[in-house]
Amino acid sequence: MPEGDSVYKAAAKLRAALDGQILTRTDFRVPAFATLDLSGHTVTSAVPRGKHLLIRVAEGTDGTTADAADTPAPANASDPGSGLTIHSHLKMEGVWQIYSAGERWRKPSYLARGVLSTATKTAVGFELGLLEVVPTASEESIVGHLGPDLLGPDWDAELALANLLSDPARPVALALLDQRNLAGLGNVFANELSFLRGVRPHTPIGEIADPKRLVALAFKAIMVNKDRPIRNLTGLPRGKPRYWVHGRRGEACLRCGTRIESDQLGTGPTDTRYMWWCPSCQK
């Protein structure tokens, strides 16, 4: 399941393939942007913000638009005032894949939501939960509500802690999942961090001992995993479980052998999550 570490890796992959390149073809397979054509635009960056991915493009950096002597200089590619942002959210199954020109796609074409081609590479966003194009200047309307980003330059552990504790009755897993508190954690991290801190996902966040350590652990866990090709919270070698509890209902706890339990947690259809825990290791 894509979480902040997945989005971080996706952004790095997109930057490596597209940064500084001119788009030769774009295809947005969502009704609102089906007729939009960004060919001729230059990709200026791909930035992860929590679980949101922002691909920024700018016009007029390839010299083709500045044809008259009295035409103002092309806007700086990094100037957010003139650019557009291709905003995507991976949600449950989304992924961006990079292909060389002419290479066969590894996923069926009907799952593609966004296609961005340069002379040599094509980036295809499959099964994106959300795809839209907005002025870069209004990115704040998309990501402005996010709390400090665990993998971003704005990371602020103290602010994240204060946000988490602002609603002390909230179950710890739901507090960690709330992107307004801190950005980047999804269900896997919420479950695994609860296990690693020895608390059940349902425990009110205000009742856990030393919540500062929870925030420090969240940072450490996602930092380590941002550079791993496959997320692994146990540190066990390939073939062994990579999660302590997530998705392991009925299996033996790797620490004590007790059967892992699971349940739903949440208050409504949009806030319901599956939680897993060891009834012995987590109190």
So which residues are the catalytic ones? 2-3, 51, 273
151 near 226, Cβ under 8 Å?
yes
Of 79-87, 120-128, 208-216, 271-279: span binding Zn ion (CB under 5 A): 271-279
The answer to whether 245 contacts Zn ion (rule: CB under 5 A) is no
Residue pointed to by tokens 């007029």: 60
CA distance 2 to 187: 9
Q: In whole angstroms, how close is the CB of 261 to Zn ion at the nearest point?
A: 10
Nearer to Zn ion, 92 or 256 (CB): 256
The answer to whether 253 contacts Zn ion (rule: CB under 5 A) is yes
Of 125-133, 139-147, 177-185, 246-254: span binding Zn ion (CB under 5 A): 246-254
Q: Which residues contact 34 (CB under 8 A, 6 or more apart)?
A: 28
Q: In whole angstroms, how close is the CB of 244 to Zn ion at the nearest point?
A: 8
Q: In whole angstroms, how close is the CB of 6 to Zn ion at the nearest point?
A: 27
Closest CA to 176 of 221, 241, 141, 112: 221
Query: Cα dihedral angle (234, 237, 240, 242), rounded to 10 degrees?
Result: 30
Of 18, 23, 218, 281, the one binding Zn ion (CB under 5 A) is 281
Collapsing DSSP states into helix, strand and coil, what is residue 219?
A: helix
Q: Which residues contact 18 (CB under 8 A, 6 or more apart)?
A: 43, 46, 55, 116, 118, 121, 123
Of 25-33, 57-65, 150-158, 258-266: span binding Zn ion (CB under 5 A): 258-266
Q: In whole angstroms, how close is the CB of 272 to Zn ion at the nearest point?
A: 25
Of 255, 259, 263, 271, the one binding Zn ion (CB under 5 A) is 255
Nearer to Zn ion, 53 or 253 (CB): 253
CA distance 126 to 111: 5
The answer to whether 196 contacts Zn ion (rule: CB under 5 A) is no
Can you give the binding site for Zn ion, defined by CB under 5 A?
Answer: 253, 255-256, 258, 278, 280-281
